[in-house]
Amino acid sequence: MIIVMKPNAAKESVNAITNYIEGKGLQAHLSEGTEVTIIGVVGDKTKLSQDSIMSYKDVQKIVPVTESYKLTNKQFHPEPSIIKVGNTEIGSNNLTIMAGPCAVETEQQLLSIAHAALAGGANILRGGAYKPRTSPYAFQGLEEEGLRYMQEAKAETGLSTICEVVSLDAINAAVKYVDMIQIGARNMQNFYLLKEAGKSGLPVLLKRGLCATIDEWLNAAEYIIAEGNPNVVLCERGIRTYETATRNTLDISAVPVLKEKTHLPVIVDPSHSTGSYKYVPSMAKAAVACGADGLMIEVHNDPANALSDGPQSLTFKRFNQLCKELHPFADLVGRKF
């Protein structure tokens, strides 16, 4: 449930209700707007008396929350969340561009891509150091060595950094080197990993699972936030359907649906969703036009010889051109880019 306080409710009233909730063994989550404060209740609501709550001064109404996810729910947190990642922010009126290679291959490769990403307009450098692949014989990533290269690239360019993690060991290594960790599609419902990501202290990018519904996705985010980490960003990266013309099917409608359901920022990955560099520009523009807070785009210095996902990676020239073409779309929806 959520408890909606009257406009300009006294802080003493809010504190009294919070103490009552926590005294019953439940959690109280405050969302303070400019005029109205909302108190979200997580736990066994049968322990609370609605009559007792309504008797408190400055309580306006009690609203039930029927969805199983609470902390990610927009009813709990009406104002959009803004997530700070290194020296940039995701959300608000910003358009965040994450760009970089699917896999970190060498130090020089990553540094060259980082400079190109920065020149094109990226805010965050993405790079894979841990690469869970369909085939066990495919390149699996440089692991901690790759993370060190990410740290060097940040020092040289000033870009914030993000890397996927696939285990607790990977999380423990990543927190030493990068500004944000990513939970990939295959691990969206790896609940143990989600909990550990929530304990990491770093912002988390949560990609949608291959066949996950939006509600399943939001419940996965709930695992992270429930561990005390509210800094979660959702990433739509395409879902598996019967269509084979593209690698996955980009569910562009997920963006406005999520904007209605959750306060968390939403970005779109047009690279993994389409699997082809040819379709990345049009899907990127569509994502911005429908309200996405950002994009994750794969960029490589030599896509034809990339060790991972070359066919969907943009060259430096194509990335630079796309960023130029995105400006009118960002302006259309009031985004700063």
Q: What would the 3-class secondary structure string for 29-98 be?
A: EEEECCCCEEEEEECCHHHCCHHHHHHCCCEEEEECCCCCCCCCECCCCCCCCCEEECCEEECCCECEEE
Residue located via tokens 């509210």? 230
Amino acid at 2: I
Domains of the chain: residue spans and CATH:
2-63 (3.30.70.1140), 83-332 (3.20.20.70)
Residue partners of 21: CB distance under 8 A and separation at least 6? 27, 28, 39, 41, 48
For residue 273 the two structure tokens come to 């969703």
Q: Give the integer Cα–Cα distance in Å for 314 and 82.
A: 28
Amino acid at 53: I
Helix 107-120 / helix 316-332 crossing angle, nearest 10 deg: 30
Pairing of strands 96-100, 294-298: parallel
Q: Does an H or E element contain 112, and which? A: helix 107-120
| Nearest CA-CA partner of 224 in 263, 185, 183, 186 | 183
The CA distances from residue 2 to 5, 65, 70, in Å, are 10, 7, 10
The model's confidence at residue 31, banded by pLDDT at 50, 70 and 90, is: confident
| Three-state DSSP string of 148-196 | HHHHHHHHHHCCEEEEECCCHHHHHHHCCCCCEEEECHHHCCCHHHHHH
For residue 161 the two structure tokens come to 């950094």
pLDDT recorded at residue 55: 93
How far is C-alpha 120 from the geometric centre of its chain's CA atoms?
22
Average pLDDT over residues 238-251: 97
Q: Give the integer Cα–Cα distance in Å for 114 and 119.
A: 9
Q: Could you tell me the pTM of the whole model?
A: 0.93
The model's confidence at residue 294, banded by pLDDT at 50, 70 and 90, is: very high
Burial 143-167 (b: 16+ CB within 10 A, else e): bbebbbbbeebbeebebbbbbbbbe
| Nearest CA-CA partner of 124 in 101, 152, 100, 148 | 100
Burial 36-63 (b: 16+ CB within 10 A, else e): ebbbbbbeeeeebeeeebeeeebbeebe
Question: Would you call 263 exposed, middle or buried from its count of C-beta atoms within 10 A (0-12, 13-18, 19+)?
Answer: buried
pLDDT recorded at residue 8: 87
Give the tens place of pLDDT for each residue, 114-146. 999 999 999 999 999 997 777 787 777 899 999
Give the tens place of pLDDT for each residue, 42-71. 988 889 999 999 999 999 999 999 899 999
Q: Taking a C-beta distance cutoff of 8 angstroms, is the pair 29, 222 a contact?
A: no
pLDDT recorded at residue 141: 84
DSSP string spanning 291-330?
T-SEEEEEB-S-GGG-SS-GGGPBPHHHHHHHHHHHHHHH
The rounded mean pLDDT for the chain is 95
For residue 199 the two structure tokens come to 């304990």
Half-sphere exposure of 113 (CA within 13 A, CB side): 33
Of 54-68, 208-222, 291-305, least confident by mean pLDDT is 54-68
The model's confidence at residue 81, banded by pLDDT at 50, 70 and 90, is: very high
